[in-house]
Amino acid sequence: MAVNKEELKEIIIKDLFLEDITPAEIEDDAPLFGEGLGLDSLDAVELVVIIQKHYKIEIKDMDEGRVAFNSINSLADFIGEKQAS
């Protein structure tokens, strides 16, 4: 089942306290960290918790997280794959 990207964006905005932006402002393929959305290392570990909490997927290692957290697209793909397996 494909992951609802709009829902994912809403979760990220709420749980990472990004309430100054709207889901529409997050582009699906824009980087979440650094230049793009401007997230940092503390957001990365919070994102691990968010994925666990909302999608019941455990990310044990940041090396795994780093690839998944590239963009909304990569994150949605990652969640989709994990849910299918």
Partner 1 sequence: MKQNAPVAITGTGCLSASGLSLEENMNSLFSGIRNVDVPTGFSSTHTSKYPVFEIKGNIPGLTDDDRKKYSRTSQLGLAAAREALKNAGLNAENLSGLRVGVCMGTTVGCAMNDEPFYRDFRDRLKPDMFPIKKYLNSNPSSAISCEYSLKGPCQTLVNACASGTDAIGVGTSWIRAGICDIVIAGGTDELSRISYNGFISLMITSERACMPFDKNRKGLNLGEGAAVLILEGEDSLKKRKKDPKAFVLGYGTACDGYHLTAPHPDGKGLRRALKEVFADSGKTPEDIGFINAHGTSTPDNDRTESKILRELLPGIPFLSTKGYTGHTLGAAGAIEAAYTVACLEQGRIPANAGFSETDPELCVTPVTENTEILKKTALSESLAFGGQNSVLILSTEGI
Partner 2 sequence: MEAAVNGIGVVGGFGRGTADLLKYLKSGTVPAPSNSEFYPVYAADISYLDTVIPKRALRRIDHFSQLALSGIYLAIEDAGLESIDKPSTGLIICSGYGSAKTTFSFLDSIFDDGDACASPTLFSNSVHNAAAGHISIILGLEGPSSTISQFDMSVPSALLTALQWLEEDRVDHIMFGAVDEYCDVMGYSYQRYYGMNENTKMAPLVPGQQSAVPGEGAVFFLLSKKESAKGYGSVSSVKAGSLFDKGIVFPQDSFYILNADGHKKTDRNYHDIIPHGSLASCYTPLYGSMPVGTAFDMAVGALSFKEKTLFSSPESVGCLNESRVLKEKCINRYENISCVKVSRQDELSIITLSSR
Taking a C-beta distance cutoff of 8 angstroms, is the pair 42, 85 a contact?
Answer: no
* Residue 42 sits in the site that holds partner 1 (CB under 8 A): yes
* Integer Cα distance of 67 and 14 in angstroms: 22
The residues near 42 (Cβ < 8 Å, ≥ 6 apart) are none
* Residue 24 sits in the site that holds partner 1 (CB under 8 A): no
Query: Could you tell me which stretch among 2-10, 11-19, 25-33, 63-71 binds partner 2 (CB under 8 A)?
Result: 11-19
Give the binding site for partner 1 (CB under 8 A).
Answer: 40-42, 45, 48-49, 58, 60, 62
Give the binding site for partner 2 (CB under 8 A).
Answer: 16-20, 38, 42-43, 45-46, 49, 52-53, 58
